[in-house]
Structure 1
């Protein structure tokens, strides 16, 4: 008879709690390792900031990024329009904040598309070799 010391004897509920605790411990350990690398920490911070800005865009942006106000076209940066306005009178800061959503969407789309395509090309080149590989 073999006894495992990893899983406690008892109800299924306590086993699931132990599994969740172990998974949480592994995740915090991974995040801690990544945070020790300065470049990883800076990149993760930028991505986290981009996610926060995209999630709270309606709260952060003072104006609708699509509404045109030709009376305020090409206004220099001031207290009302932090980054000024474009040639159609749209607030540039609001457009930048809402643009973070589009940026995240494109990054996700490229990541999902390029991974399988690169895998297919790599497997084909590895299998056939020679001129296909070159």
Structure 2
């Protein structure tokens, strides 16, 4: 071999060594960046799962509170209906009592009493009508 051939061979060998070192350095940098990326992605995924579980637990609490509120509203509605029914019954009873009292008052309208003994049957009738 000639000196030029040996020089070329050494230069090419040196270039390949430098290229190999550069490629190994680039490969290490890419693998390091990729590993860091995968680590960051896994960390973000784990945090998202924790956040999801927290949100689900909060959702369950809110649903329980809504169900409790709905049952209380329903109970209040039922109580209102029962109170309305009692009020209507009381009104009807008051109307019936007023009619009885009106009829008794009409019967005793012309009664005149000068003594307590004469007034007692009229008072008794009025009291029984108001009972």
Identify the structure with the greater helix proportion. Answer: 2
TM-score computed with the length of structure 1 as normaliser? 0.28
